[in-house]
């Protein structure tokens, strides 16, 4: 049966004490110990209001005779009517409407108790909780009212704390509510609030396992990462306890599975064949079984360079040219390998200047490889390097002789170098001569130069020896010659100067008081003298010391003769 409280409510004035919610029958002695701050309600003829802390109620107003205490949502006030005409109201547990004159509820309606519900604002509502029960609402702790509603805030959970209805308090969140979780290496299930683990947790350490996603197991891979195995791509699951096999990278033979940083793997194109060695910058790398050059490799360092898959000695000075296999190369700065600059060709070979001025040129070799030549006063077969004899047929020194450019032994030899190809001037107080690298020790006895001058000239014949980066005068002869055109001599046996093997000399003539015309040849030169290699021309103002780099020209050579014999 429906229980009516309306007869009690109208006992004052018009025999009505209040209207609407059953809260009007609540005695002050049973008022809630907590309430929603600022919310008002009717208690008989009294208007009660919750304080700002939500801890107690006070009487805000007592309705006079003939008035009703009437609730409207969270507000309550004394009014001339018990309820709003034709609005939905509750008469105890019965959901009904207010009479048209506002004097009270209409008879009849729906008794919510029949469906185990409560009447709230004229509607039957499910009972969420029992009166006085602690529940979580919007992350805070609430107490349930007599209509089964969480209306009274008990605890406001601050920061990262969450509501725990079982304890009626706030606590730190330690796991995801209701899900399997790990507490370090202990596997368990989180409670409904995320504040603690339910009973029955298992310590995975006792079985030498790890807790993964709330379960004990053996981790076989890194969770959610991809990796390579036997050419296939695998994707690890969220627990790390199993993986799914994906694409076969090696299916078509042109790709392999490549493991990258950050737990990422992919199908990469093959770079090489397994075991193959390659140069990457200045590092020798060996191709792995999966066709990759990703390994660390062997760093060739600053003294070597990587070429054709191996470290090779640099053998040159960084930034300077050098000769290799008869050609001109440039020694690149580490880690770059030397590079070919110029091929000298079959009839020439590379020579580096003797002064250290970073010059390399293509010159006529000491002898043509495979032919008969004269080196070190010996006649024989020229070696492949063009600088030594691979076989000796005649040793001229055995008969106190020297060999000639015609590969014959003789007591004295006159070597002609250069051609009368281009005319030039030797100005007064200037020197012009030929520069030689001596291979076979000789004694210089005479110098001749092709000159032309109309009248008598005073000429100075000079022998310079290279010392460091300078030519130093070792001997000179001052000779006066009548006007002529042709070879002019310093005089038969005018010199007796030893040209030492391994040394470099400049032999020539200086005009003292008037200009003299001379002639010179341009590279490549016609040939070398029997005692060494013609390196070019020295032209400078006459002095006892000449700066080699300022006076040297590797592309020209004066037309002259040099007479030598065995020292």
Distance, in Å, from the CA atom of 106 to the CA atom of 102, rounded to the nearest integer, reads: 10
Domains of the chain in sequence order: 6-126 (no CATH), 134-172 (no CATH), 180-217 (no CATH), 226-269 (no CATH), 276-343 (no CATH), 412-565 (2.60.120)
- Here the contacts of 482-487 (C-beta below 8 Å, separation 24 or greater) are 482/455, 482/456, 483/453, 483/454, 483/455, 483/456, 483/457, 484/451, 484/452, 484/453, 485/451, 485/452, 485/453, 486/450, 486/451, 486/452, 487/448, 487/449, 487/450, 487/451, 487/560, 487/561
Is 391 in contact with 380 (CB distance < 8 Å)? yes
Task: Give the burial class of 204: count Cβ atoms within 10 A of its Cβ; 0-12 exposed, 13-18 middle, 19 or more buried.
Answer: buried
pLDDT in the model for residue 354: 63
pLDDT tens figures, 113-122: 899 888 888 8
In the structure, what pLDDT confidence band is assigned to residue 188 with cuts at 50, 70 and 90? Answer: very high
pLDDT tens figures, 368-423: 888 998 888 899 999 888 888 899 999 999 999 998 888 899 999 999 999 988 99
Which residue would you say has higher pLDDT here, 348 or 380?
380
pLDDT tens figures, 310-345: 999 888 888 888 888 889 999 888 778 889 999 988
Residue range 350-377: mean pLDDT, rounded? 78
Q: Is 54 left (phi over 0), alpha (psi -120 to 50) or beta?
A: left
Closest CA to 55 of 29, 26, 35, 31: 35
Distance, in Å, from the CA atom of 19 to the CA atom of 7, rounded to the nearest integer, reads: 10
Number of residues assigned to the chain: 567
Q: In degrees, to the nearest 5, what angle opens at C-alpha 170 toward C-alphas 168 and 175?
A: 110
Residue range 341-355: mean pLDDT, rounded? 81
pLDDT in the model for residue 13: 31
Distance, in Å, from the CA atom of 557 to the CA atom of 421, rounded to the nearest integer, reads: 10
pLDDT tens figures, 486-508: 999 999 999 999 999 989 999 99
Answer yes or no: is pLDDT of 4 > 80. Answer: no
Is 283 in contact with 320 (CB distance < 8 Å)? no
- Three-state secondary structure call for residue 8: helix
Structure token pair of residue 461: 């014949």
* Residue 548, H or E segment: helix 548-551
The residues facing 191 across adjacent strands are: none
Q: Is the dihedral of CA 91, 96, 101, 102 positive or negative?
A: positive
Distance, in Å, from the CA atom of 141 to the CA atom of 471, rounded to the nearest integer, reads: 104
pLDDT in the model for residue 147: 75
Answer yes or no: is pLDDT of 24 > 50. Answer: no
In the structure, what pLDDT confidence band is assigned to residue 31 with cuts at 50, 70 and 90? Answer: very low
Distance, in Å, from the CA atom of 353 to the CA atom of 332, rounded to the nearest integer, reads: 19
Which residue would you say has higher pLDDT here, 430 or 357?
430
Which residue would you say has higher pLDDT here, 13 or 45?
45
Q: Hey, how many other C-beta atoms are within 10 angstroms of the C-beta on 413? A: 25
For the chain, give the percent of residues with pLDDT over 90.
Answer: 41
pLDDT in the model for residue 240: 85
Is 506 in contact with 403 (CB distance < 8 Å)? no
Distance, in Å, from the CA atom of 529 to the CA atom of 370, rounded to the nearest integer, reads: 19
Distance, in Å, from the CA atom of 122 to the CA atom of 96, rounded to the nearest integer, reads: 6
For the chain, give the percent of residues with pLDDT over 70.
Answer: 93
Residue range 288-312: mean pLDDT, rounded? 85
Task: Give the burial class of 323: count Cβ atoms within 10 A of its Cβ; 0-12 exposed, 13-18 middle, 19 or more buried.
Answer: middle
Pairing of strands 442-453, 497-499: antiparallel
Distance, in Å, from the CA atom of 82 to the CA atom of 105, rounded to the nearest integer, reads: 9
Answer yes or no: is pLDDT of 356 > 60. Answer: no
pLDDT in the model for residue 358: 60
Residues whose CB falls within 8 Å of the CB of residue 114, separated by 6 or more in sequence, listed in order: none
pTM above 0.75, yes or no: no
Which residue would you say has higher pLDDT here, 107 or 405?
107
Closest CA to 487 of 513, 448, 522, 460: 448
pLDDT tens figures, 212-245: 888 898 888 888 999 999 889 999 988 888 899 9
pLDDT in the model for residue 475: 96
pLDDT tens figures, 52-103: 887 889 999 999 988 888 888 788 899 888 888 899 988 888 999 999 888 8
Q: Is 346 left (phi over 0), alpha (psi -120 to 50) or beta?
A: alpha
Look at 147-156, 265-274, 537-546 and tell me which has the smallest mean pLDDT: 147-156
Closest CA to 263 of 285, 233, 294, 292: 233
Which residue would you say has higher pLDDT here, 12 or 462?
462
Answer yes or no: is pLDDT of 25 > 70. Answer: no
């Amino acid at each position: 049966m429906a229980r009516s409280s309306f007869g009690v409510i109208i006992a004052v004035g018009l025999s009505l004490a209040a209207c609407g919610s059953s809260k009007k029958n609540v005695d002050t002695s049973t008022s809630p110990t907590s309430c929603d701050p600022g919310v008002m309600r009717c208690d008989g003829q009294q208007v009660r209001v919750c304080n700002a802390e939500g801890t107690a109620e006070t009487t805000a107003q007592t309705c006079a005779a003939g008035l009703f205490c009437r609730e409207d949502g969270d507000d309550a006030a004394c009014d001339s009517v018990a309820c709003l005409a034709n609005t939905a109201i509750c008469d105890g547990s019965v959901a009904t409407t207010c009479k048209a004159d506002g004097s009270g509820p209409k008879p009849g309606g729906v008794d919510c108790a029949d469906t185990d519900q409560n009447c709230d604002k004229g509607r039957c509502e499910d009972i969420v909780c029992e009166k006085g029960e602690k529940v979580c609402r919007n992350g805070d702790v609430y107490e349930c009212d007599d209509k089964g509603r969480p209306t009274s805030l008990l605890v406001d959970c601050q920061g990262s704390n969450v509501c725990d209805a079982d304890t009626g308090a706030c606590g730190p969140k330690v796991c995801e509510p209701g899900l399997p979780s790990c507490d370090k290496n202990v596997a368990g299930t989180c409670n409904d609030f995320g504040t603690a683990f339910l009973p029955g947790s298992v310590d995975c350490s006792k079985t030498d396992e790890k807790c993964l996603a709330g379960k004990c197991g053996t981790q076989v891979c890194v969770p959610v990462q991809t990796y390579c195995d036997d050419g296939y791509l695998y994707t690890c699951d969220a627990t790390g306890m199993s993986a799914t096999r994906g694409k076969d990278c090696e299916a078509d033979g042109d790709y392999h599975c490549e493991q990258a940083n950050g737990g990422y793997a992919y199908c990469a194109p093959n770079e090489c064949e397994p075991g193959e060695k390659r140069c990457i910058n200045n590092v020798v790398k060996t191709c792995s079984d999966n066709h990759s050059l990703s390994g660390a490799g062997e760093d060739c360092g600053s003294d070597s360079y990587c070429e054709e898959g191996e470290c090779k000695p640099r053998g040159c000075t960084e930034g300077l040219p050098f000769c290799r296999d008869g050609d001109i190369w440039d020694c690149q700065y580490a880690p770059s390998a030397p590079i070919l600059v110029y091929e000298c060709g079959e009839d020439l070979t590379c020579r580096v200047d003797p002064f250290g001025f970073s010059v390399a040129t293509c010159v006529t070799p000491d002898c043509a490889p495979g032919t008969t030549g004269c080196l070190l006063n010996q006649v024989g077969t020229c070696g492949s390097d063009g600088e030594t004899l691979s076989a000796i047929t005649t040793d001229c020194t055995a008969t106190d002789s020297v060999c000639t450019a015609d590969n014959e032994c003789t007591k004295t030899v006159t070597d002609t170098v250069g051609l009368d190809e281009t005319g030039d001037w030797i100005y007064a107080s200037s020197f012009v001569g030929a520069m030689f690298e001596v291979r076979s020790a000789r004694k210089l006895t005479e110098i001749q130069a092709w000159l032309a001058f109309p009248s008598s000239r005073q000429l100075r014949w000079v022998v310079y020896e290279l010392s460091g980066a300078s030519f130093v005068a070792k001997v000179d002869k001052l000779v006066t010659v009548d006007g002529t055109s042709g070879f002019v001599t310093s005089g038969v046996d005018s010199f007796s100067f030893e040209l030492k093997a391994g040394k470099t000399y400049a032999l020539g003539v200086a005009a003292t008081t008037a200009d003299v015309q001379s002639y010179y040849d341009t590279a490549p030169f016609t040939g070398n003298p029997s005692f060494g290699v013609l390196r070019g021309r020295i032209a400078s103002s006459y002095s006892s010391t000449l700066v080699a780099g300022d006076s040297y020209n590797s592309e020209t050579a004066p037309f002259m003769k040099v007479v030598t014999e065995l020292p």
